[in-house]
Amino acid sequence: MLAAVTEGHGAKGTSMRLRTGLVGLVGLAISVFCTVGHARNEGVTADEIRLGASAVLSGPLGPQTVQFGEGSRLMFDAVNAQGGVHGRMIRYTTLDDGFDPQKSVENTRRLLEEDKVFMIYHSTGTAQTAAILPLIKEHRTLLFGPVTGASAFREQLNPLVFHVRASYANEAAKILSQLRHQGIDRVAVLYADDGLGKALLADLKKASEDEKLAFVAELKVDPKQPDFAAAAQATEKARPQAVIVATAGSTFTNYVAAVQATPARPTFYGFSVVSTDGLRRELKDKARGIILAQIMPSLRNTTVPVVAEYLALLRAQSPQAQPSASQFEGFVHARLLVEGLRRTGRNLTTESFIKTMEEAGEISFGRFGVKYSPKSHNGSTYVELAIVDAEGSLRY
C-alpha cells in the first residue's frame, strides 16, 4: 500500500478604516488577475502531484494547524492507497512559518521555485495569505483553501484562488444575529492587534451595524506582549453580558482564564479558528458554555456522508484516535481538492483545474457544499453555532 509522501517542515467609518489596511495589502495583487494567462504547470508528473503550504506549525496556533495537516494527510493517504488520482500519488509538503508573514513568503518561494509544487494548498493565516499573493501572481500558480475567512480576499475575484471555508463575515453575522435575537444588548469585543484580529474586528463591526447592536467596549491585546490581567479588568469594568473574542490559540484561552478570575461572568463567543482541543487542554471544565461559530458539520452527525467518511478512515488508521474539528476541516479541504482533481482528469493543468471547478456546479458532501463560478471562488457559506458542553465537546 502506498502512503502519501509528506514532509513536516462603533461607527461605520471606523469599520471601513479597519478594512483599509488588509484591502490595501491584497488589492494590488488581485487587480492584475483579470485573466489567468500562461500559468506555470509544474508539479504534475507522470506519477505525482506535488502540493505545498507554508503553515503555522509552531507557537500558539501550532497545535491546531498541525491538526489541519493531519486531516489532509488522512485523506491523501487513503487516496494514494487506492492508486492515487488518475494514477498520480499526492505529495504534500508543509513548512513552518511560526505565524511570521515574511517567513511565509520565504517558504512559499521555496515551495514554488525549489520543490516546484503544482499548487499552494491549505496555507494558514490572514496576513500570511496577503503576503504570498504576489508570489501566486508571479508564478501564476493556484492557491487552494487558504485557512483565512478574511473578507478582503473574497470581495474581488482572484481566479487563481479557491476558498473553501465560509468567511469571517458569515461567522460574524451569525454571532451578532444570535445575540440580537436573544435580547443581549451589552456586548464587548476583545481582539488581538494582528492581521487576524483586525480582520475579525472589521467583520464584527459591519455585522454590529447591520444588526444595530453597538459594542459597549472594544478591547485589544498586543499578541507579542499581551497583558491579560489588564484586559480582564477592562472587561469587568465594561460589564458585558457577552464578549466576542476575536483571536485564537493561547491568546483566546489566556484571556478567558483571566476574565474568569474576576467577578465578571460574561458568555464568551468565538470564531471557528478557535480549537476545541486547545480549550479542553487549557481551560478544562471552565471551557463549558463557550459558544463558537463552526464552518463544518458536527462530528456527532454521522448521517452526513463526509463526517462518516472521515470517522471511518480515522478509526481504520487508529482505533484509539480521537476525532478533531480542526483535523476534520483539513480532511474536508483535501476531500474537495481530490474531487476537483478527479473531475479534471488526466490532463491536469492550472487552466483545466480552474475550468473544471468553475463549471462543476454545487459540489456537496451532505450538509456541506461549495459552488464556484467564473464570477466567484468563495466556496462555502455554511455556519452554525455550537456550545462547549461539560465534556469539552461541541453541541450544535
pLDDT tens digits for range 123-146 = 999 899 999 999 999 999 999 999
Whether residues 208 and 146 fall in one domain: no
pLDDT band for position 14 (50/70/90)?
very low
Grid coordinates in use for 331? 480532511
Spatial distance between the Cα atoms of 384 and 296, rounded to a whole number of angstroms = 8
**Per the domain annotation, does 290 fall within a domain?**
no
Whether residues 325 and 340 fall in one domain: yes
- pLDDT over threshold 70, residue 31: no
What's the gap between Cα 197 and its chain centre? 13
Structurally, the chain folds into a number of domains equal to 2
Whether residues 256 and 315 fall in one domain: no
Range of the domain at 240: 169-271
Tell me: the pLDDT tens digits for 256-310?
A: 999 999 999 999 999 998 988 889 999 999 999 999 999 999 999 999 999 999 9
Residue 30, pLDDT score: 45
Instruction: Single out the residue of 50, 33, 130 nearest to residue 85, CA to CA.
Output: 50
Whether residues 15 and 152 fall in one domain: yes
Q: CATH code at 337? A: 3.40.50.2300
Residue 24, pLDDT score: 53
Half-sphere exposure of 37 (CA within 13 A, CB side): 11
**Per the domain annotation, does 234 fall within a domain?**
yes
**Per the domain annotation, does 223 fall within a domain?**
yes
Residue 41, pLDDT score: 79
Between vectors from CA 223 to CA 103 and to CA 61, what angle results, nearest 5°?
60
**Per the domain annotation, does 29 fall within a domain?**
yes
Helix (H, G, I), strand (E, B) or coil at 368: coil
**Per the domain annotation, does 39 fall within a domain?**
yes
Whether residues 178 and 138 fall in one domain: no
Please report, as a single letter, which amino acid is at residue 129: T
**Per the domain annotation, does 282 fall within a domain?**
no
The total of other beta-carbon atoms located within 10 Å of residue 329's CB is 25
Grid coordinates in use for 204? 464584527
**Per the domain annotation, does 114 fall within a domain?**
yes
Strands (E), the chain: 5-8, 48-55, 89-96, 119-121, 142-144, 161-162, 187-192, 215-221, 242-246, 267-270, 291-294, 362-364, 369-371, 384-388, 394-395
Q: Give the end of a domain, one of 271, 296, 316.
A: 271
Residue by residue, DSSP assigns 184-244 as ---EEEEEESSHHHHHHHHHHHHHHHHHT--EEEEEEE-SSS--HHHHHHHHHHH--SEEE
Residue 16, pLDDT score: 52
Whether residues 144 and 205 fall in one domain: no
Whether residues 109 and 187 fall in one domain: no
Whether residues 122 and 81 fall in one domain: yes
**Per the domain annotation, does 160 fall within a domain?**
yes
Whether residues 330 and 260 fall in one domain: no
Q: Give the end of a domain, one of 226, 247, 271.
A: 271
Whether residues 339 and 267 fall in one domain: no
Residue 40, pLDDT score: 67
Whether residues 138 and 219 fall in one domain: no
Whether residues 176 and 142 fall in one domain: no
Q: What is the pTM of this model?
A: 0.83
Question: By mean pLDDT, which of 60-64, 95-99, 248-252 is the weakest?
Answer: 60-64
